[in-house]
Amino acid sequence: MTQWWRGGVIYQIYPRSFFDTSDDGVGDLDGIVSKLDYVAGLGVDGVWLSPFFRSPMADFGYDVADYRDVDPLFGSLADFDALIAAGRRSKLKVVIDQVYSHTSNQHAWFRESRQSRDNPKADWYVWADAKDDGSPPNNWISLFGGQAWSWDTRRRQYYMHNFLSEQPDLNFHNPQVRAAILDVARFWLDRGVDGFRLDVANFYYCDRLLRDNPPKRAGGGFARPYLHQRHLHDRSQPENLAFMEALRALVDQYEDRMTVAEIGSDSYIQRSIEYASPGRLHTAYNFMLLENGPLTASLIRNAFEEWTCGKAWPCWSFSNHDVVRARTRWGGEDASDDFATLLLGVLMCLRGTIFLYQGEELGLPQAKVPFERLRDPEGIRFWPDGLGRDGCRTPMPWRADAPNAGFSKAEPWLPVDPAHARLAVDRQSGDEASILNKTRRFIGFRGRHRALRLGDIAFLEAPEPILAFTRTQEDESLLCVFNLGRDPVRYDLPGADFRDLGYGLPARLEAKSLLLPGYGGAVLERAK
């Protein structure tokens, strides 16, 4: 096996917002196919597609109504097969999202389950009786606010949902459910996908006894109810790991496929290591670098130095479809293009598999979406304290002067931020100094150096805001140094006789030191 994913770069596509060929304001599979040459031109190894399955779109595809079909909004199964074939021609692997924790309440399984307490699928979801006073069976909270339980009048029971009430949780304690989900995975593997990104992979099982979660600390004070609890019983159950092993065994029956878990947990790194350990999934990513800030050398160093298990392969991303884009989250609304470029330069030197979110290669900031245009149910519920996920999901800007930045001829499902126009693909493609072209060079540089793709990482002592580490693989050892601040700094080199490999960030190598302007950086090699 080639293990193409190990140290590779995978480009995340959010299909609704990538490119629209049907002129309905929503991106589609044909749109992805038409832009695969652009993606391949970045130098990435593959793409990860967010959900495109049949869905009522209460949570924009993360509420699946049919695991084995494409929603007509995006195309058809034939269109997906064409995408797989186009990926092969472009030498791009295709990884797809799989949402196994829950389904839509419109899924045939749930429609049958809610009919009675004794039908063939009665136990396929997490159902529970009310307490004597009619209240929910325990104190579990939904991530989107409110109780994690909704009442069903026909069964006269509550059903559990970690997310929206339209997203009932499957009962993985039922072996029939586990078998059905493995059949879903087999369906897509047979269709030619190269791997799975497993949505909320540690949420599949809940405590059989439905015990209350304890409070996180006295006094609360958290912005959202979900954060008030220690989630000991509604996620990360030990049975979950056994299912990961079963899924891995299935995937290993196919050549050169991969699995990556999304882990939602307070124990960011510990849980990721559990899921990426040998015999389970190939890798796992968490939200340590997606939710926390400000950006410091210590933040990045701590994330890596907590990853103490050498047999568990990590993966990292700075942005995705669920969080404020890194340029804005870490740099503020006035973050410069130089800061956006630095983030990409750092990301492509890190140890692990790298996920690059669409538009990140352009340096897109978080889009501003007015309240009346919000579509994200989480964003609407918690507005104005949190504007939700819409600002990172707005359409990809392809042509600066075209209507809707070239994304669609129709009004898009989310508005295009005018600030994105100057960063459109057509504006950047012909400019060698653009963020886009620097990203292409960073990815190409990573691909040419085994130490960056596969090597060990060791951090060097350096004062903030300097981030310094070595990447070593066999006889290649590289020194990576970045200035995370806006003011110039000088870094004293650990020894002499280094040569600058021309990574693409501003820096000046002197006899025994490296002069780094604000947001500068360099990759050095000892002179031979």
Name 283's bridge partners: 260
Q: Assess whether 205 and 324 both reside in one domain.
A: yes
- Cβ(398)–Cβ(407) under 8 Å? yes
Q: Assess whether 409 and 287 both reside in one domain.
A: yes
Identify whether 158 is part of a domain: no
Last residue of a domain, one of 415, 445, 475: 445
Q: Assess whether 391 and 473 both reside in one domain.
A: no
Alpha-helix residue ranges (DSSP H) falling in 370-483: 377-382, 425-429, 435-448, 450-454
Q: Assess whether 506 and 391 both reside in one domain.
A: no
Catalytic residue check, 291: no
Tally of domains in the chain? 2
Q: Record the pTM.
A: 0.97
Phi, psi dihedrals of residue 301, rounded to the nearest 5°: -60, -45
Give the CATH number, domain containing residue 516: 2.60.40.1180
Identify the three-state secondary structure at position 431: coil
CA–CA dist 101, 477 (Å, integer): 42
Q: Assess whether 337 and 219 both reside in one domain.
A: yes
Q: Assess whether 484 and 411 both reside in one domain.
A: no
Q: Assess whether 400 and 490 both reside in one domain.
A: no
- Cβ(453)–Cβ(446) under 8 Å? yes
Q: Assess whether 292 and 333 both reside in one domain.
A: yes
Spell out the long-range contacts of 268-272 with Cβ–Cβ below 8 A and sequence spacing 24 or more: 268/303, 268/306, 269/303, 269/306, 269/307, 270/306, 271/202, 271/236, 272/307, 272/312, 272/314
Q: Assess whether 221 and 337 both reside in one domain.
A: yes
Catalytic residue check, 360: no
Identify whether 60 is part of a domain: yes
**Secondary structure of 63-96 as H, E, C letters:** CCCEEEEECCCCCCHHHHHHHHHHHHHCCCEEEE
Q: What is the end-to-end Cα distance of the chain in Å, rounded?
A: 33
Tokens of residue 230, six digits? 């220690």
Which entry of 59, 97, 199, 322 is annotated as an active-site residue?
Answer: 199
Name 149's bridge partners: 160
Tens-digit pLDDT string for the chain (528 aa): 679 999 999 999 999 999 999 999 999 999 999 999 999 999 999 999 999 999 999 999 999 999 999 999 999 999 999 999 999 999 999 999 999 999 999 999 999 999 999 999 999 999 999 999 999 999 999 999 899 999 999 999 999 999 999 999 999 999 999 999 999 999 999 999 999 999 999 999 999 999 999 998 777 677 788 999 999 999 999 999 999 999 999 999 999 999 999 998 888 899 999 999 999 999 999 899 999 989 999 999 999 999 987 799 999 999 999 999 999 999 999 999 999 999 999 999 999 999 999 999 999 999 999 999 999 988 888 887 766 799 999 999 999 999 999 999 999 999 999 999 999 999 999 999 999 999 999 999 999 999 999 999 999 999 999 999 999 999 999 999 999 999 999 999 998 789 999 999 999 999 899 999 999 999 999 877
Give the CATH number, domain containing residue 221: 3.20.20.80
Which entry of 97, 166, 262, 378 is annotated as an active-site residue?
Answer: 262
DSSP state of 211: P
Largest Cα separation within the chain, whole Å, is: 79
**Amino acid making up residue 184:** V
Identify whether 15 is part of a domain: yes
Domain enclosing residue 356, as ranges: 9-103+175-445
Q: Assess whether 438 and 491 both reside in one domain.
A: no
Q: Residue 487: count other Cβ atoms within 10 Å of its Cβ.
A: 10
Last residue of a domain, one of 445, 479, 510: 445
Contacts of 171 (CB under 8 A, 6+ apart): 123, 124, 125, 126, 127, 177
Identify whether 117 is part of a domain: no
Last residue of a domain, one of 445, 477, 497: 445
For 237-284, the DSSP string reads -HHHHHHHHHHHHHHTTSTT-EEEEE---SSHHHHHHHHTSTTS-SEE
Identify whether 118 is part of a domain: no
CA–CA dist 506, 517 (Å, integer): 7
Q: Assess whether 377 and 242 both reside in one domain.
A: yes
Identify whether 148 is part of a domain: no
Q: Assess whether 302 and 181 both reside in one domain.
A: yes
CA–CA dist 514, 528 (Å, integer): 19
Identify whether 124 is part of a domain: no
- Cβ(516)–Cβ(490) under 8 Å? yes
Identify whether 477 is part of a domain: yes
Phi, psi dihedrals of residue 165, rounded to the nearest 5°: -65, -20
Name 215's bridge partners: 229
Rounded to whole angstroms, what are the CA distances from 445 to 442, 453, 476? 5, 10, 14
